[in-house]
Structure 1
Amino acid sequence: MFSKLMEQFEAASAVYANANGITRDPDWFLLKLIEEAGEVTQAANRLSGRSRAKGMGEAERRQLLADETADLLGHVLLFARHHSLDLEEAIARKWRFDPRKVTADP
């Protein structure tokens, strides 16, 4: 389920890294994950009124939170891919459902 998505994020990340001269060493994957978690926190605080809105309306703040959450998800998948983690197995073990058996909504 996640392997194709991991490869798509990897391809996009590799293009970005090459275009910007970024070396993605082993530490980079963890550091980017932490950075993105901070950005999600900042966007959530902005949406909830715990931080300055910086002139953004609610719709813009919601979009920012969605964008930052997408970045975080991407970096979770990049981190898992880098470490060859089996997320499907881990989800089944930790969350007690098999994500490979989840069907899409009609």
Structure 2
Amino acid sequence: MLRSLADQFETSSAKYAAANGIERDADWFLLKLQEEVGELTQAWNRLTGRSRRRERTQEELDRDLADETADLLGHILLFARRNDIDLAAAIERKWRFQPAQTPEA
């Protein structure tokens, strides 16, 4: 399940990188992950009134938070894929449940 999702993110990310001349070396995956944490933090700060809202509606603020969360998830999966990390096994070990057997929301 997670590997399949990571493969889909990889396809999309590779296309984006090729179209924009981005070299995705080993450091890029971690640096991009850090960038996305910052963008999620920025969206959270706007949503919770800790930063300027930039004339964004509540709906736009909610969507920004969701979009940045999706970006962060994507880059976590890309990082794990690039580094041959078996996230399902790590989740089982650290969180003590099997993600493949968890019902989807």
Q: TM-score range by the shorter chain?
A: over 0.9
2:43 corresponds to 1:40? no
The match for 1:67 is 67
The match for 1:27 is 27
The count of aligned residue pairs is 105
For 1:5, the aligned partner's letter is L
Tell me how far apart the structure 2 counterparts of residues 74 and 104 of structure 1 sit (CA, whole Å).
Answer: 18
The match for 1:99 is 99
2:9 corresponds to 1:6? no
Tell me how far apart the structure 2 counterparts of residues 97 and 89 of structure 1 sit (CA, whole Å).
Answer: 9
The match for 1:79 is 79
CA offset at residue 58 of structure 1? Answer: 1.0
Deviation readout 1:60-95 (Å, 9 max, x if unpaired): 101001011111000000000000000001111111
* 2:63 partner SS: helix
Tell me how far apart the structure 1 counterparts of residues 46 and 95 of structure 2 sit (CA, whole Å).
Answer: 30
For 1:18, the aligned partner's letter is A
The match for 2:89 is 89
Any stretches of 5+ residues in structure 1 without a counterpart? none
Aligned sequence identity (%) = 60
TM-score (norm 2): 0.97
Any stretches of 5+ residues in structure 2 without a counterpart? none
TM-score (norm 1): 0.96
Q: RMSD of aligned C-alpha atoms? A: 0.8
Give runs of ≥4 in structure 1 deviating > 2 Å: none
Tell me how far apart the structure 1 counterparts of residues 70 and 104 of structure 2 sit (CA, whole Å).
Answer: 19
CA offset at residue 104 of structure 1? Answer: 3.1
